[in-house]
Amino acid sequence: MNEFDTFEKSLMLFRTYGCIGNENNMFWGFKALNAATGVVGGMMYPYDGLLINQTENGIGIFMLKQPGIPWVYKIQKMNILKDKYIFIPSSDVILVEIKNAAPLNKKVKTVTIITKDGANYKINVYVNDPNLPYHNEGFARFIEKYSKK
């Protein structure tokens, strides 16, 4: 996590891959287990978490991996997989859906991003996470941008 534990470090990381804009809404989410079970789920979702930067140009995504077999996903234990970077131009995003992870749970949201090429990224995101200083503000702006009006 040391590589992306501050806004400045994350900004430099995304800048290295050309994913910087006037707006940089950075946050992290963990694998939505209800969508990623079994062998097929492991192949479709080869990550434990995603570090996301949504800009006016598109969505940059780094896959994150937590060592061992995680029972609980924690950002403090995540390692970034720099060779697993993805950029989705805004024009290739078909759907961004944000909803409560469970009917009565407003502390965790499920975010689904579907692209023109059929890729489907599904993560759960804590609305507030004190372990990543820039997460709360970045995710709040992401929700504001993609929430159904």
Q: How far is residue 63 from each of residues 78, 100, 107, 128, measured CA to CA in Å?
A: 10, 22, 23, 20
Report the CATH number at residue 29.
Answer: 2.30.29.30
Q: What is the pLDDT of residues 111-145, one digit of tens each?
A: 999 999 988 889 999 999 999 999 999 999 999 99
Structural domain that includes position 43:
7-146
User: Does a structural domain hold residue 135?
Assistant: yes
Q: Are 91 and 99 in contact (CB under 8 A)?
A: no
Residue 140, number of CB atoms within 10 A of its CB = 14
What domain count does the chain have?
1
Residue 44's pLDDT is 61
Dihedral angle, C-alpha 5, 9, 14, 15, nearest 10 °: 170
User: Does a structural domain hold residue 2?
Assistant: no
Residue 129's pLDDT is 94
Whether the model clears a pTM of 0.85, i.e. scores above it, the answer is yes
User: Does a structural domain hold residue 111?
Assistant: yes
User: Does a structural domain hold residue 1?
Assistant: no
